């Protein structure tokens, strides 16, 4: 699968699960892509595989210490501007 979102290590992203019901770990958090954790059809270091797309390791600084999540690219939203962040607080004027 082609990386249509142009994700790469160092990219700022938001983990966003758009399914109904239970949310994935890290849902709503903003972080940075650290590295590729797994590619389509290949086994990841933790033994999982994905039939399509890339699994990325993302670090979030919302916790102490920072947490790393392994997230399929379909759940990552690239952040290029503060307005790209879903659910951010709007400043009242």
Q: What is the pLDDT of residue 72?
A: 92
Q: What is the pLDDT of residue 40?
A: 85
- Cβ atoms within 10 Å of 57's Cβ, excluding its own: 19
Summarised one tens digit per residue, pLDDT across range 25-61 is 899 999 999 999 988 888 887 877 778 889 999 999 9
Q: What is the pLDDT of residue 88?
A: 63
- Cβ atoms within 10 Å of 52's Cβ, excluding its own: 10
Q: How many domains does the chain have?
A: 1
Say if 29 falls within a structural domain: yes
Q: Write the DSSP symbol of residue 88.
A: P
Say if 23 falls within a structural domain: yes
In the chain, % of residues over pLDDT 70: 89
Q: What is the pLDDT of residue 58?
A: 97
65 upstream amide cis, omega within 30 of 0? yes
Say if 1 falls within a structural domain: no
Task: Say whether pLDDT at 70 is over 90.
Answer: yes
Say if 51 falls within a structural domain: yes
**Structure tokens belonging to residue 62:** 């919302």
Say if 92 falls within a structural domain: no
Say if 78 falls within a structural domain: yes
Say if 52 falls within a structural domain: yes
Say if 47 falls within a structural domain: yes
Enclosing domain of residue 71: 12-84
In the chain, % of residues over pLDDT 90: 49
């Amino acid at each position: 699968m082609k990386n249509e979102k142009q994700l790469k290590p160092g990219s700022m992203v938001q983990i966003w699960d758009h399914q109904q019901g239970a949310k994935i770990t890290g849902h709503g958090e903003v972080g940075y892509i650290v590295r590729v954790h797994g590619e389509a059809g290949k086994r990841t270091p933790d033994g999982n595989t994905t039939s399509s797309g890339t699994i990325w390791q993302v670090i979030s600084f919302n916790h102490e210490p920072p947490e790393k999540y392994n997230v399929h690219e379909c759940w990552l939203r690239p952040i290029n501007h503060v307005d790209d962040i879903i659910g951010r607080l709007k400043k009242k004027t």
